[in-house]
Amino acid sequence: MPKVLLTGGSGFIAAHVLELLLKRGYEVLTTVRSETKASQIRAKYPGAKLSVAIVPNIAVPNAFDEVIANNPGIDYVQHTASPFHFKFSDARTELLDPAINGTKGILQAIAKHAPSVKRVVVTSSFAAIISEAKMNDPTTVFSEADWNPSTYEDGLKGPPPTSYRVSKKCAEKAAWDFVEQEKPGFDLATICPPMVFGPVAHHLDSLRDINTSDQRFVDLMQGKWNDEIPASGVFLWVDVRDVALAHLRAMEIPEAGGQRFFTTAGYYDNARIARVVRDGLPDLAAAGKLPGDNVRLAPGAEKPAQVFGYDNSRATKVLGIDWIPLEKSAVDTVKSLLEIPA
């Protein structure tokens, strides 16, 4: 079977991609930031066709060169490593540059040291598609044809969500620009999910280390929504298992090369999440951990009647994904989180 390099293998999405790759029989080389994370991955997959390399900081120049140069015969690259958090003090050094330079750096390293690579799949985001000015415009239908109009400068001075969105837009744009300008021996596909929910496959010492997008489920099951259900966000979501499958199929399907894929299962809101978890986990509801029917709703807890549209037809048709419904995703997520120490 072919050999795949997967960056950021200890991440939320990447852990599911890793699981799928190994189940399909691929040989996998994955990178993580520390030996601790490397040991956790090795312990989870004893005897697998798996090797783990340490790349402490993907933003530094030539971060991936040594790993790629020392591991010949890589056929595909799945680049998932990129920061997703709002807990930063300097957007440039902690968010924007790691995302952009990490993407540029790995493409440069592949072009220099890995002529065997046929395709690179990059984890981007709906953040690279969305226009903040059109989020409440029902005449707008977002698709892969759209690019976030915010600039790098907007990311430097904007609020944390804007900075994150700019980091994803600029990183994905850098990838497409590289392929267009350098014309390497590989082609490119990008995966653009919105909020990603779903069960945890990566190692967590406690729920305090939960990924940003699943934090709402931790808050829900710990009773933090019992007085008020908070605002939802952008109202589009997808299950992490579908995102992982999209990465795999974007790598395997020939016609996926050169394309962006907007991977979303559709709309959600936090009020609906509370209802489906209450219906699916009645014991948790009976224990008083979940909000009741008449709980107060913060503005944005429910999806408004007037909201943007979306077109996910390319991902549905080309990648052949039958999207996991929110009812299954939300319940599976909470069940997964209940197994992790608080």
Of 21, 29, 97, residue with least CA distance to 64: 29
Within a domain: 317: yes
**In which residue ranges of the chain is pLDDT below 50?**
none
- Residue 198 and residue 136: Cα distance in Å, rounded? 26
- Judge whether 298 lies within some domain: no
Distance between CA atoms of residues 30 and 27, nearest Å: 10
Asked if residue 226 belongs to a domain, the reply is no
Q: Where are the beta strands (DSSP E) in 22-112?
A: 27-32, 50-54, 76-79
Contact 39, 223 (CB under 8 A): no
Measure the CA–CA gap between 59 and 54, rounded to whole angstroms.
Answer: 14
Residue 89 CB partners (closer than 8 Å, separation 6+): none
Which amino acid appears at position 173 of this protein?
Answer: K
Averaged confidence pLDDT in the chain: 94
Domain count, the chain: 1
CA dist 237 and 181 (Å) reads: 33
What CATH number is associated with residue 137? 3.40.50.720
Q: Report pLDDT for 293.
A: 87
The predicted structure's pLDDT at residue 342: 81
The reply to whether the predicted model has a pTM over 0.85 is yes
Q: Is residue 125 part of a domain?
A: yes
CB hemisphere CA count around 107 (13 angstroms) = 29
Query: Is residue 184 situated within a structural domain?
Result: yes
Is 303 among the domain residues? no
In a domain, 212, yes or no: no
Per the structure, the complete domain to which residue 50 belongs is given by 3-204+239-264+309-323
pLDDT given for residue 98 in this prediction: 84
Which pLDDT belongs to residue 95? 86
249 falls within a domain:
yes
Helix (H, G, I), strand (E, B) or coil at 313: helix
Q: What's residue 86's pLDDT?
A: 57
Task: Tell me the C-alpha distance between 258 and 255, whole Å.
Answer: 8
| φ and ψ of 24, to 5 deg | -80, -5
